[in-house]
């Protein structure tokens, strides 16, 4: 479909591929602006369909259902990057797809993503392709150990990732990485000795306007985001660099929507980009309660062609994911002053399942510290 720059009027319908919490929070943010959402996902009763009166429950490769969905909506976006390429192509032929399908092709393939970053001059961990076990040996010889073998596609929250230490057997590592992924192909990345993981949530509008939230610190447990601290306790110089990197990426991709850019801060004070998420990002959930415009509203604004909102924060924030049984504390959290509880309407808690999150606000410039980290670091 050809690009359209005039904003879609209120009452228009935003199609969202995916039924999880990101789709739910996007749909909730669309409502105050007068837009309606139509969810497309394979399962009924999921977080996003609970808050929308329109849903298509069908497989992502159901051509007939996709065609009817395209007819029923004015623009389509997605809440996860593993949308099958064929699905994106069918939709893009029939309806506006934002972000555009070429973005998906890059962001769902770790090798293409790193090649893209390298091509635009953005630093990443050293990496080499490993399409099969023989190539794995060559890649490890080139990159050295310690390294990480990652599946090129379909990996998230640490799935499809195997550390390559000095004694790791490469055949076993390959089998473990490829285990559940059909036709797995790999990438070997040098393990980065980072001092902090940070991310920038950045938005780009239809006309090319840009807006970025302050970089945040992300702490992971068992490869899953556990906590986000906004702003990240890093120097103003690094903050500026992180923001500039995120902006450069969305411009180079001709991106429309919100993207999470995950980065490492290295021991010698450099930034390396780890991963791109072409959608609202878990590390941006704090913006719901602490910013003039949340990342979800920003995504809606971008995909319907409205001007972007203000990314400024009125408070600092700590966001904690409620993973698995953490959610059992809901009553206590709901009663805690300054805590904003968000539950996703999922069924039974399972280990590793994101059930909700809680954001705690504090006055700007005086971030709540969730642990004993030195709070006197530079925070200007």
User: Which residues of this chain interact with ligand AMP, rule CB under 6 A?
Assistant: 125, 148, 155-156, 158, 189, 191-192, 197, 220, 223, 262, 274-275
Give the residue at shortest CB distance from ligand AMP.
192
Residue 222, classified by CB atoms within 10 Å of its CB into exposed (0-12), middle (13-18) or buried (19+), is exposed
Q: Which is nearer to ligand AMP, 189 or 326 (CB)?
A: 189
User: Nearest distance from residue 357's CB to ligand AMP, in Å?
Assistant: 17
Residue 30 DSSP SS3:
helix
Q: Which is nearer to ligand AMP, 29 or 178 (CB)?
A: 178
Q: Which is nearer to ligand AMP, 192 or 327 (CB)?
A: 192
User: Nearest distance from residue 112's CB to ligand AMP, in Å?
Assistant: 14
User: Nearest distance from residue 275's CB to ligand AMP, in Å?
Assistant: 4
User: Nearest distance from residue 189's CB to ligand AMP, in Å?
Assistant: 4
What is the Cα–Cα distance from 115 to 36, expressed in whole angstroms?
37
User: Nearest distance from residue 11's CB to ligand AMP, in Å?
Assistant: 38
Q: Which is nearer to ligand AMP, 24 or 150 (CB)?
A: 150
Residue 304, classified by CB atoms within 10 Å of its CB into exposed (0-12), middle (13-18) or buried (19+), is buried
CA-wise closest residue to 29 among 291, 357, 339: 291
Return the exposure string of 104-122: e unless at least 16 CB atoms fall within 10 Å of the residue's CB, then b.
bbbbbbbbebbebbeeeeb
User: Nearest distance from residue 113's CB to ligand AMP, in Å?
Assistant: 10
Q: Which is nearer to ligand AMP, 83 or 225 (CB)?
A: 225
Q: Which is nearer to ligand AMP, 191 or 364 (CB)?
A: 191
What is the Cα–Cα distance from 202 to 118, expressed in whole angstroms?
20
CA-wise closest residue to 174 among 165, 185, 182, 159: 185
């Amino acid at each position: 479909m050809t690009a359209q720059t005039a904003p879609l009027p209120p009452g228009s319908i935003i199609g969202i591929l995916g039924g999880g919490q990101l789709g739910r929070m996007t749909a909730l943010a669309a409502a105050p602006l007068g837009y309606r959402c139509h969810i497309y996902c394979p399962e009924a009763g999921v977080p996003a369909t609970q808050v929308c009166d329109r849903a298509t429950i069908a497989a992502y490769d159901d051509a007939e259902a996709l065609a009817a969905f395209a007819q029923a909506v004015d623009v389509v976006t997605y809440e996860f990057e593993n949308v099958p390429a064929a699905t994106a192509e069918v939709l893009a032929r029939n309806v506006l797809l934002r972000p555009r399908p070429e973005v998906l092709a890059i962001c769902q393939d770790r090798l293409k993503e790193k090649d893209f970053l390298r091509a635009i001059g953005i630093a990443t961990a050293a990496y080499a392709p490993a399409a099969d076990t023989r190539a794995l040996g060559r890649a490890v010889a080139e990159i050295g150990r310690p390294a990480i073998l990652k599946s090129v596609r379909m990996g998230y929250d640490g799935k499809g990732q195997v550390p390559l230490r000095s004694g790791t057997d490469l055949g076993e590592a390959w089998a473990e990485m490829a285990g559940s992924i059909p036709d797995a192909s790999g990438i070997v990345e040098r393990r980065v000795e980072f001092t902090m993981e940070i991310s920038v949530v950045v938005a780009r509008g239809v006309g090319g306007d840009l807006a970025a939230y302050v970089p945040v610190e992300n702490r992971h447990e068992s490869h899953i985001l556990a906590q986000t601290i906004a702003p990240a306790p890093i120097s103003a110089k690094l903050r500026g660099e992180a923001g500039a990197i995120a902006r450069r990426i969305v411009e180079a991709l001709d991106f429309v929507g919100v993207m999470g850019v995950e980065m490492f801060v290295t021991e010698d004070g450099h930034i390396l980009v780890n991963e791109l998420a072409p959608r609202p990002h878990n590390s941006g959930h704090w913006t719901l309660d602490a910013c003039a415009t949340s990342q979800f509203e920003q995504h809606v604004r971008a995909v319907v062609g409205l001007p972007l909102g203000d990314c400024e924060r009125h408070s600092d924030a700590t966001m904690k994911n409620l993973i698995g049984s953490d959610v059992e504390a809901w009553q206590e959290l709901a009663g805690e002053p300054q805590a904003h509880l968000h539950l996703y309407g999922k069924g039974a808690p399972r280990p590793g399942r994101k059930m909700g999150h809680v954001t705690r606000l504090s006055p700007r410039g005086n971030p709540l510290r969730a642990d004993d980290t030195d709070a006197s670091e530079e925070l200007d």
